[in-house]
């Protein structure tokens, strides 16, 4: 049957829109809308100004639109560097729990860029993006522990996935696509050292760089450049070099490919922070709202967590309990819980430098503790379990075993659209945002993806 990259290339090259179940098409459509909104949210932030200056420095052919830029266009790889940074710029992009992977951020921007450049139809865009998301889910499911080796799977697996989407839109055959995967394997970079830094902006740019590399790899392969077809399972291939011997299961990549759609387990975020915190925030809001708990009546709050959660959301303590800025606060479980308990909500406006340094917020953060529970189904699921102790002796407890947006606890299309409006209107007016929603609702009859780009530009 050939190497794994050949099998994935065959799957992608031979995938037709008619092969996709309606529920898969709808999920991919909604995730596309979601990530465009997240990009529009990020387009007016300080980091975006810097990233735009980097992307526009050398100029180039006006191929693809920079989202929220007033219609500015750049070569597709540079537009993707920028848009991919926006997509991962607020920790508001979707997640695939079994692989601990953000799916849309590394894949949607390059797919949009090439779809616009080549003027492809909506169905072709959906088909290519579905292949990318499905493969990305499977690559990360095969080695969810890659993060423990220091690699950011959103980038390292994301570039393989994005390369397939770009290659399909470009009309690459299986052989060329496998070459493209071999080429992009040389670009698989991205570290999780951002978890140790008080203001880790690199997390944004490395996701954009993955999409940038995907376009470079696909274009190289289309011109006859070759890459190793054993890039995934080879003796120096991706899984051995990034996950380490014994830390992956190759059967998880190909098993039931094309019938067991893992993309259905990709879920959107309700809150703009690390995916681990999502369910815990729901617990905090539910307890505080339904029980009417005043902050000064809280003795302590116990987050029952899987041990793998601790080094992400509670450590290093000097950063997680004393974040100095709003960006760093997104990975602080104490901050997220404290704000949710007081405000009964958590939005992008919660993450300000002032709030991160607020004495009252920090006082409540000091009461947020954790208890390790290795039997929690993490990272296969992202369950949450909170126990709140009040000063008057009550113990209040809440669990969310299936995070909002997951296949078992789905978000309705209306919630996706409401989230999109709230995010998009940071950069564009409400009329244009509504037009994007309408166009995305009829995406399957859209003849030219450049029409969508003209609205989100």
pLDDT score for 52: 97
* 261 and 369 co-located in one domain: no
Looking at 381, 400, 419, which one is the last position of a domain?
A: 400
* Domain boundaries, position 318: 275-400
* 231 and 291 co-located in one domain: no
Does 197 map to a domain? yes
Low-confidence winner among 127-136, 268-277, 403-412 (lowest mean pLDDT): 403-412
Does 172 map to a domain? yes
pLDDT score for 2: 95
CA 28/CA 126 separation, integer angstroms: 7
CA 452/CA 191 separation, integer angstroms: 33
Query: Which is it for strands 384-390 and 368-372: parallel, antiparallel or unpaired?
Result: unpaired
Query: Quick one: what percent of the chain has pLDDT higher than 70?
Result: 100
Does 258 map to a domain? yes
Across the range 256-284, mean pLDDT stands at 96
CA 330/CA 422 separation, integer angstroms: 19
* 415 and 395 co-located in one domain: no
* 319 and 349 co-located in one domain: yes
Does 264 map to a domain? yes
What the block records as the tokens of 445 is 């009859």
Into how many domains does the chain fold? Answer: 2
- What are 192-204's pLDDT values in tens digits? 999 898 888 999 9
* 113 and 43 co-located in one domain: yes
* 122 and 240 co-located in one domain: yes
Beta partners for residue 388, in sequence order: 301, 396
User: Pick from 148, 123, 115, 240: which is nearest to 185 by CA?
Assistant: 240
pLDDT score for 331: 95
Across the range 130-149, mean pLDDT stands at 96
Q: Is 216 helix (H, G, I), strand (E, B) or coil?
A: helix
pLDDT score for 1: 75
For 195, list phi and psi in degrees, rounded to 5. Answer: -65, -20
Across the range 108-119, mean pLDDT stands at 98
* 112 and 241 co-located in one domain: yes
Looking at 382, 400, 418, which one is the last position of a domain?
A: 400
Looking at 380, 400, 420, which one is the last position of a domain?
A: 400
Does 405 map to a domain? no
Give the C-alpha distances (Å, rounded to integers) separating 275 from 101, 242, 246, 384.
Answer: 10, 22, 26, 11
Mean confidence (pLDDT) of the chain: 96
CA 341/CA 362 separation, integer angstroms: 13
* 169 and 307 co-located in one domain: no
Q: What is the pTM of this model?
A: 0.96
Does 223 map to a domain? yes
pLDDT score for 268: 96
Task: Look at the block and give the residue holding tokens 């004393």.
Answer: 322
Does 342 map to a domain? yes
- pLDDT confidence tier of residue 324, bands split at 50, 70 and 90: very high
* 421 and 364 co-located in one domain: no
Give, as one character, the DSSP assignment of residue 391. T
pLDDT score for 265: 95
Across the range 174-199, mean pLDDT stands at 95
Question: Does 103 have pLDDT greater than 90?
Answer: yes
Does 182 map to a domain? yes
Question: Does 81 have pLDDT greater than 90?
Answer: yes
Residue 202's CATH number: 1.10.4100.10
* 287 and 434 co-located in one domain: no
pLDDT score for 380: 85
* 305 and 362 co-located in one domain: yes
Question: Does 107 have pLDDT greater than 80?
Answer: yes
pLDDT score for 408: 86
* 363 and 414 co-located in one domain: no
- What are 405-443's pLDDT values in tens digits? 888 888 999 999 999 999 999 999 999 999 999 999 999
Across the range 366-385, mean pLDDT stands at 95
Residue 356's CATH number: 3.30.1330.120
Count of beta carbons in the 10 Å neighbourhood of residue 301: 26
User: Pick from 173, 167, 143, 175: which is nearest to 156 by CA?
Assistant: 143
């Amino acid at each position: 049957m050939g190497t794994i990259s050949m099998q994935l290339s065959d799957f992608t090259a031979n995938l037709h829109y008619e092969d996709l179940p309606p529920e898969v098409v709808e999920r991919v459509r909604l995730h596309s809308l979601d990530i465009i909104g997240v990009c529009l949210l990020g387009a007016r932030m300080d980091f975006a100004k810097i990233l735009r200056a980097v992307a526009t420095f050398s100029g180039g052919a006006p191929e693809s639109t920079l989202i929220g830029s007033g219609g500015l266009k750049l070569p597709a790889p540079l537009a993707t560097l920028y848009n991919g940074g926006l997509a991962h710029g607020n920790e508001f992009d979707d997640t695939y729990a079994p692989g601990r992977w953000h799916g849309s951020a590394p894949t949607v921007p390059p797919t949009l860029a090439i779809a616009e450049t080549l003027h492809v139809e909506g169905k072709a865009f959906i088909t290519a993006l579905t292949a990318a998301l499905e493969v990305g889910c499977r690559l990360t499911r095969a080695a969810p522990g890659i993060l423990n080796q220091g690699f950011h799977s959103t980038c390292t697996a994301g570039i393989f996935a994005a390369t397939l989407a770009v290659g399909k839109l470009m009309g690459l055959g299986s052989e060329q696509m496998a070459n493209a995967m071999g080429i992009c394997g040389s670009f698989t970079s991205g570290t999780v050292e951002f978890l140790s830094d008080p203001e880790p902006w690199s997390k944004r740019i490395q996701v954009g760089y993955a999409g940038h590399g995907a376009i470079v790899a696909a274009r190289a392969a289309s011109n006859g450049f070759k890459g190793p077809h054993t890039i995934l399972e080879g003796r120096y291939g991706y899984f051995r070099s990034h996950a380490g011997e014994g830390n992956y299961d190759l059967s998880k990549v190909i098993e039931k490919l094309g019938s067991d759609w893992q993309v259905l387990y990709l879920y959107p975020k309700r809150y703009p922070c690390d995916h681990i915190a999502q369910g815990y925030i729901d617990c905090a809001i539910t307890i505080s709202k339904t029980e009417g708990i005043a902050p000064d009546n809280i003795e302590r709050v116990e987050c029952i967590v899987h041990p793998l959660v601790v080094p992400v959301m509670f450590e290093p303590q000097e950063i997680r309990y004393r974040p100095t800025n709003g960006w760093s606060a997104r990975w602080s479980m104490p901050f997220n819980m404290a704000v949710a308990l007081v405000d009964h909500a958590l939005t992008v406006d919660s993450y300000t430098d002032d709030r991160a340094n607020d004495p009252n917020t920090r006082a409540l953060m000091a009461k947020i503790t954790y208890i390790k529970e290795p039997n929690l189904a993490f990272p296969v699921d992202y369950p949450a379990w909170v126990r709140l102790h009040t000063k008057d002796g009550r113990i209040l407890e809440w669990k969310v075993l299936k995070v909002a947006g997951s296949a078992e606890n789905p978000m309705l299309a209306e919630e996706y659209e409401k989230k999109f409006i709230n995010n998009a209107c940071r950069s564009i007016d409400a009329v244009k945002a509504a037009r994007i929603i309408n166009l995305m609702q009829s995406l399957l009859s859209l003849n030219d993806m450049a029409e969508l780009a003209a609205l989100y530009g």
